[in-house]
Amino acid sequence: MVRWGGVADDFTGATDLAANWVARGLRTSVSLGVPEADQLPRLAAMDAVVVALKTRTAPVADAVGQSLAALDALRGLGCTRFYDKYCSTFDSTPRGNIGPVGDALMAALDADVAVVVPSFPANGRTVYHRQLFVGDRLLGESSMRHHPLTPMTDSDVVRLLTPQTVNRVVSVPLPVVRGGPDALRGALRAAGGEGRAYAVVDAVDDADLACIARATADHVLVTGGSGLALGLPRGDGDASAAMPVEPGFRAVLAGSASAATRRQLAAARGSVAARKLDLAALRADPAGEVARLTRWARERWSAAPDAPVLVHSVDEADGPDDPNNAVGQNGQNGQNGQNGQDAVPPGGRPAAELVEEALAACAVAFAAAGARQFIVAGGETSGSVVQALGVRRLDLGPALAPGVSWAHGAAADGRAYNLALKSGNFGRQDIFTSGWEAIS
C-alpha cells in the first residue's frame, strides 16, 4: 500500500525525492504528470509515489490546479502522508508558486502546520537562523541571484515565503532542533495552535533532518527540498530492485547553464564528442539544426557505438552574458543580455524555449536512431525531453550522486529508456563520463 505521496514542481526534483525515498528503503515510482487510470495498478504496489509536474514557473492558478489534481490521484492510491517538493534553493517569486501550492495542499489536507525544510546538506543546502546557504554562501549572494525567472536576491526563508502565503510563517531555530524530537514537536504544535502556519526549521546536517523527520511523524504534510526524506528511519528491505538496462546508443542533453553543469562540461571535454546548439540556426531553421545534430550523432555512433555524444546549450567557459550562449544563467533565457536575459529579436521567442524544444526534438530523433540511454541536465530540459519521448512513469535504479539516479521508463510506442535526470546544480564533476558505469 502506498504510504507516501509526493507532489514535485519539476521532473528532476521528482526523481531527486524518489531517489532519497529509495535510499531509505521505500519502493518508489515517479509518475510523469498526474497518473492515468492504466498506471494505477502498478503504482498501487509501491510504498511511495511522486507525481512530477512542470509547475515551478507556471501561472499560479495552473500550478495550484495541477498540484491539487496530483493530490487527488495520490489520495486515490491510498497515500496517508504527503510531501510538497520544491527546489532546495527555494526558486520562486513574491507571488509563488511555493506559497500558493502549499496553501492549497494545507487546506485540502486540513493541516494546521507544515514544516518548510529546504536543507539538503549532502548537496550543500543548509538553513541556519532562517538563512538559506548554498555551500558557504548565502542564497542571495550565490549565482541564483541572477536567475532570470526566479532571481533569489534574499536569503531569509521567512521573508521569501511570507509574501506568497495567506498563512503565518514562523521560524524554529537550530537550538530547538538540537533539543530533540520532543522539543521540536512542542514548538511545531505551538506554531499550529493559532491557525494554519508554516514553520521554517533550521537544519545544517543529516542528524537535524532525522530529528525533524521524527518530530513530524504524525504530520499529514511536509514541505521542502528532498533532503528531509533522508531523515526517515532506514527500512529493513532493499527498495533498489534491479533496473532493466536498455541496450542502445548513449547521449547527454545539457540544457542547463548552471556553474555546476559548466564544470561538468569542462570535465567531459576531450573525452566525449560534443556539439553546441547554434541559437542563430535554431531561430532560422529549428528542424534543420536538429537534423544537423542527428546526422553528426549518427556518424559518431557509427564510428564508436558505445561512446556517448553530448549536445549542450553553453560552452563550459562561457559566462551568463557571453553573446555566444544559447541560454543564460541556470539554463534560462540568454544570448547577449545582462544577467542571462535573452535579447529576443522582434517577434522572436526566448532562447530558453528554443533550447528546450530543440533538445526534446534531439531526444526523439536520437531515439529513432537507436539511442536508449540518456543523461539530461536541467529541470525544464528534463521535463521536455521525457514528455517528448512519451515516458509516463519512472522506476528508480542505481544512484549516481546525491539527488541523481538512473531510472527506467517505458513509452507508449513500446520503446523503453534508461534516463538520468539531473538538476543543473547537482551531480559529480565527471558525471557525463563516469555516469555510464552504473549501467554498463
Q: Is pLDDT of 241 > 80? A: no
The per-residue pLDDT for 327 is 47
Q: Is pLDDT of 320 > 60? A: no
Q: Is pLDDT of 301 > 70? A: yes
Q: Give the Cα separation of 10 and 16 in Å (integer).
A: 10
CA angle, residues 139, 142, 147, in degrees to nearest 5: 95
Residue bearing cell 495498478: 41
| Greater model confidence, 70 or 315 | 70
Residue 90 gets the label, from left (phi > 0), alpha (psi -120 to 50) or beta, of left
Q: Is pLDDT of 296 > 80? A: yes
Q: Give the Cα separation of 404 and 120 in Å (integer).
A: 13
Q: Is pLDDT of 350 > 50? A: yes
Indicate the helix (H) or strand (E) that contains 377: strand 371-377
Query: Mean of the pLDDT values across residues 116-123?
Result: 96
Confidence of residue 239 (pLDDT cuts 50, 70, 90): low
Most distant CA pair in the chain, distance: 68
Q: Is pLDDT of 290 > 50? A: yes
Q: Is pLDDT of 438 > 60? A: yes
- Helix, strand, coil share (%) of the chain residues, nearest 5: 40, 25, 35
**Which domains does the chain carry?**
4-231 (3.40.50.10840), 249-439 (3.40.980.20)
- Alpha helices by DSSP H, listed for 32-173, are 40-43, 60-76, 98-109, 157-161
Contact call for residues 364 and 388 (beta carbons, < 8 A): yes
What does pTM read for this prediction?
Answer: 0.87
Closest CA to 9 of 47, 44, 51, 45: 51
C-alpha cell at 98: 511555493
Pick from 39-48, 60-69, 175-184: least confident:
39-48
Q: Give the Cα separation of 12 and 420 in Å (integer).
A: 9
Pick from 37-41, 67-71, 144-148: least confident:
144-148
Contact call for residues 397 and 23 (beta carbons, < 8 A): no
Contact call for residues 313 and 358 (beta carbons, < 8 A): no
Sorted by sequence, the CB contacts under 8 Å of residue 350 that are 6+ apart come out as 333, 342, 344
Query: Mean of the pLDDT values across residues 127-131?
Result: 98
Q: Give the Cα separation of 162 and 160 in Å (integer).
A: 6
**Average pLDDT value over all residues in the chain:** 90
Q: Give the Cα separation of 235 and 251 in Å (integer).
A: 35
What is the distance in angstroms between the CA of the first residue and the CA of the last residue of the chain?
33
Confidence of residue 329 (pLDDT cuts 50, 70, 90): very low
309-312 vs 404-410, strand pairing mode: unpaired
Confidence of residue 193 (pLDDT cuts 50, 70, 90): confident
Query: Mean of the pLDDT values across residues 373-384?
Result: 93
| Per-residue model confidence as pLDDT tens digits over 200-227 | 999 999 999 999 999 999 999 999 999 9
C-alpha cell at 349: 521567442
Contact call for residues 317 and 324 (beta carbons, < 8 A): no
4-8 vs 81-85, strand pairing mode: parallel
Contact call for residues 87 and 227 (beta carbons, < 8 A): no
Contact call for residues 35 and 70 (beta carbons, < 8 A): no
The per-residue pLDDT for 344 is 55
The per-residue pLDDT for 345 is 60
Contact call for residues 182 and 119 (beta carbons, < 8 A): no
The per-residue pLDDT for 237 is 58
Which of 90-99, 229-238, 310-319 has the highest mean predicted lDDT (pLDDT)? 90-99
Q: Give the Cα separation of 362 and 369 in Å (integer).
A: 10
Contact call for residues 148 and 341 (beta carbons, < 8 A): yes
Q: Give the Cα separation of 421 and 399 in Å (integer).
A: 11
Cα-to-chain-centroid distance, residue 115? 20
